[in-house]
Structure 1
Amino acid sequence: MLPNAPVNGHVSHWFDGLPISRAPLPGSRDADVCIVGAGYTGLWTAYYLKRADPSLRIVVLEARFAGYGASGRNGGWLSGLVPAERDRMARRHGRDGVVAWQRALNDAVDEVIAVAAEEGIDAGIVKGGTLEIARNPAQARRLAAAAEEERRWGVDGITELTGDEAAQRINLDGVVAGFHNPHCARIQPAQLARGLADAVERLGVVIYERTPVTEIAAGGATTPWGVVSAPVVLRATEGFTTRLPGLKRRWLPMNSSMIATEPVPEHLWDSIGWHGRETLGDTAHGFFYAQRTVDDRIAIGGRSVPYRFGSRLDRDGRVPDATIKRLGATLYSILPQVASVPIAHAWCGVLAVPRDWAATVDFDRASGLGWAGGYVGHGVTATNLAGRTLTDLVLGRDTESTRLPWVGHESRDWEPEPLRWIGVRGLYLAYKAADWHEARGTKRTSPFAVAADRIAGR
């Protein structure tokens, strides 16, 4: 146990002080649409479906409470990041489609902001963009290539920065280069999830919490408390998909961890800056992601135990002490000014990774079954676009959204154990070795990272 140990687990720091009160399913019932999962995907889908057709009887089933999964544990980046490898998707679906997808995701950032304002959801939203940094020559080469790649995919507003220019935004230690992408907002993720749940209830959608779904089939969803029968059943279970029959290997539940400090004193903020509330990330292979929170803490995350054998899941977000130490060391390395500020909370959660690292949205009209997910950690904004796309698919609309390349995209299943565990463990050991190698001054991406990319099939 760490000295002066932070709160460890209890889902996430983002839920502190937020009410959790909805009742479970009281028994079997009928609906027009049954949505399994009350995270962002399920809630956005319910929101847009009910807005499009107020007569629909929509039921949302949630195993724990709204936002319990990745929606309430993520880093709070409302960004236009594409949940796929764009080059690979372009080879399969065409470049124009991927460009359209990128633009739709950038637009979705503003769509979420607009809906939050319209529905009175206070999610601490500040659209300050993302600051990506490099701290050694190899990272700087990748950073420059990444900035150019963003422009190649039609992302406007990319600004490349020298180390000094990056430090003027956030006074980070050892930064040699950076770039700013305007298509991102800082949010408090649990407040968005809970506010969105309240909004769909006001529209007439019924949410049942504490209601785990044990089976999804054409015509309904089965729970311990009864069956919700519906001609349309939509799966929005992301990292928890592995628990459903027949889906154990569909998506890999990848683990990511976070810590949050105590509130940082004002005099330290004077030395740090961060006045634009940019989200912050780096180009290391074992990358971090961070934000200045609504209550002036620093929340920072990264991979720790990336995958548990047999697709096992965490226990309400609890993380190993070693993870807390590692993330704290990363934080104090980039911001030594806060070395005296204690870590207050640590947590983790799972995100879903398809075998080809590409998310999907689909609806089979014959069976009435639909699904969306596999966001590879880029789901905060993508879920909004997925919800609107599922709405169009269910209602039989032919729209720009339904023609995007992730619609109907198929990925093969992951390998059986122990190959799955060996592969993921090897992947992250190689990335760790690559970061160690590059920190010693090499100017090119480490061969360890090249090997890791091959392991991942990226």
Structure 2
Amino acid sequence: VLERDIAGYGASGRNGGWALCEYSIGPMEWARRWSPESAIRQMRALHDAVDDIGRVSAAEEIDCHYAKGGWINWARSPLQLERLAAAAQARHDLGLTEADLRMVGVDEARAIGNASEVYGGLFRTHVAAIHPARLVRGLADVVERLGVMVYENTAVRSLEPGKVVTERGAVRAEVVVRATEGYTRDLTGHRRVLAPIYSLMVATEPLSEKVWDEIGLAGRPTFSDARNMVIYGQRTADGRLAFGGRGAPYLFGSRIDTATERRRDVHDRIEETLRDLFPAIVDARITHRWGGVMGLPRDWTPSLAFDRSTGLAQGGGFVGDGVATAKLAGHTLAELITGTESERTDLPWVGHTSRNWEPEPLRYLGINGGLWMASSADRAEARTGRGSRRVDLLNRLLGR
């Protein structure tokens, strides 16, 4: 394993700690592109991956604070409630069951987590909260004990069949796997493969039992609401609220700048949103602020491929949903490379690769235009109580 910094430096160690039951595109889109049956198989494989993370963590004694408490997606307006009900019905029509996800009323939604202005919600079962850095560092220790060599602080500049070129020299191997996500743009010839998109987070100080009695979230379910601009959070094992969201701009030319990971205005908006969700934390201090990049493919669809003739393999494009998806991708790639047939090796995403992003300035205008549309749609919906046409335009613009 060749790692530019340390294992977990990127999204694998800095994410919101959701082992999630869904991909960056919904199961209806899988069904449209392939078939309803294959969409359900793709979803069930991800459900299994969530459980596998817990199983492996327990077996290898990785203390990653795994808690399979599900995911409550609150509706905080009548429009959001309609949106969630439609999402639930579409998934049930496809073949998922009430055991997988179900609508909950106001009382149950607030019993799960006492957020403000709740009209109901959608609860998904197959989601776990984790401490991501503990998971990835623990996995690195496990594979090293198994004999894998992990070379950290080793930047890769280019790759080709049978060869990886680093700053320190070349490494030759029969099979080369690219798993570089938001940092793929650093590889020669890969600038337009995945767009590096920022997501930023904050964490509170440990909260008192009195505050937790008010908020709830017993069992540590992950949480969000149904706005267009993505937000996500969890109750951590040490009693904090860790909470994040989108909103930082895409940088021209797929540039990555660590200063953007600490943008005060974006962190302030995230903090404001968290305090709006939970008025009980009005006096709580924010003790941590951070962020990082994720990999966004042009069609929002994760890719997984192995070309036996060249020995080149790749997986990625998880759009921030990579904890369980990366586990499934890694398991599947291992089977493809070793020639092991399984229920995973004929899933519809096997062999999929997304087309490249447009050249600049189209990429810059399109991605940042999409971010603006999401936030402006939320403002319009809050003001009028009606759905915004910007959402449909956003989905068409992004090819979703």
| TM-score of the pair, normalised by structure 2 | 0.97
Displacement after TM superposition at 1:130 (Å): 0.3
1:76 to 17, 20, 24: 17
Q: Distance in 2 between matches of 1:385 and 1:449?
A: 30
Aligned residue for 2:162? 219
Aligned residue for 1:115? 56
**2:399 aligned with 1:457:** yes
Alignment length (residue pairs): 398
Deviation string for 1:69-98 (max 9, x for gaps)? 100111101121123343333233222211
SS in 1 for 2:156: coil
Deviation string for 1:40-69 (max 9, x for gaps)? xxxxxxxxxxxxxxxxxxxx0000000111
- Superposition map of 1:248-287 within 5 A: 248-287=191-230
Q: Distance in 1 between matches of 2:257 and 2:72?
A: 30
Aligned residue for 2:173? 230
SS in 2 for 1:414: coil
Aligned residue for 2:355? 412
Aligned residue for 1:17? none
> Are the aligned partners of 1:135 and 1:177 in contact in 2 as well (CA < 8 Å)?
yes
Would the alpha carbon gap of residues 316 and 150 (structure 1) be closer, same or farther in structure 2, given more than 3 Å must change? farther
Q: Which has the higher contact order (CA 8 A, sep 6+)?
A: 1
Aligned residue for 1:310? 253
Aligned residue for 2:80? 139
Q: Which runs of 5+ in 2 are unaligned?
A: none
- Superposition map of 1:43-442 within 5 A: 60-156=1-97, 157=99, 158-315=101-258, 318-442=261-385
Would the alpha carbon gap of residues 309 and 249 (structure 1) be closer, same or farther in structure 2, given more than 3 Å must change? same
Deviation string for 1:83-127 (max 9, x for gaps)? 334333323322221110100100111111101111110100111
Displacement after TM superposition at 1:375 (Å): 0.7
Displacement after TM superposition at 1:164 (Å): 2.3
> Are the aligned partners of 2:201 and 2:242 in contact in 1 as well (CA < 8 Å)?
yes
SS in 1 for 2:328: helix
Letter in 1 for 2:193: R
Deviation string for 1:369-419 (max 9, x for gaps)? 100000121110011111111011101123221100111112211111111
Displacement after TM superposition at 1:304 (Å): 1.9
Would the alpha carbon gap of residues 441 and 137 (structure 1) be closer, same or farther in structure 2, given more than 3 Å must change? farther
Displacement after TM superposition at 1:441 (Å): 4.3
> Are the aligned partners of 2:23 and 2:325 in contact in 1 as well (CA < 8 Å)?
yes
Would the alpha carbon gap of residues 310 and 301 (structure 1) be closer, same or farther in structure 2, given more than 3 Å must change? same
Considering only aligned residues, what root-mean-square deviation do their CA atoms show, in Å?
A: 1.3
1:447 to 371, 379, 389: 389
Letter in 2 for 1:79: L
Q: Distance in 2 between matches of 1:220 and 1:373?
A: 20
Would the alpha carbon gap of residues 200 and 103 (structure 1) be closer, same or farther in structure 2, given more than 3 Å must change? same
> Are the aligned partners of 1:136 and 1:441 in contact in 2 as well (CA < 8 Å)?
no
Q: Distance in 2 between matches of 1:146 and 1:281?
A: 15
SS in 2 for 1:356: coil
SS in 2 for 1:214: strand
Q: Distance in 2 between matches of 1:100 and 1:314?
A: 38
Q: Distance in 2 between matches of 1:397 and 1:272?
A: 47
Deviation string for 1:133-186 (max 9, x for gaps)? 111121111011112233234333223112222111111110111121110111
> Are the aligned partners of 2:81 and 2:119 in contact in 1 as well (CA < 8 Å)?
yes
SS in 2 for 1:392: helix
Q: Which runs of 5+ in 1 are unaligned?
A: 1-59
SS in 1 for 2:150: strand
Displacement after TM superposition at 1:238 (Å): 0.6
Q: Distance in 2 between matches of 1:88 and 1:144?
A: 17
Identity of aligned pairs, percent?
Answer: 45
> Are the aligned partners of 1:97 and 1:404 in contact in 2 as well (CA < 8 Å)?
yes
Moved more, 210-219 or 427-436: 427-436
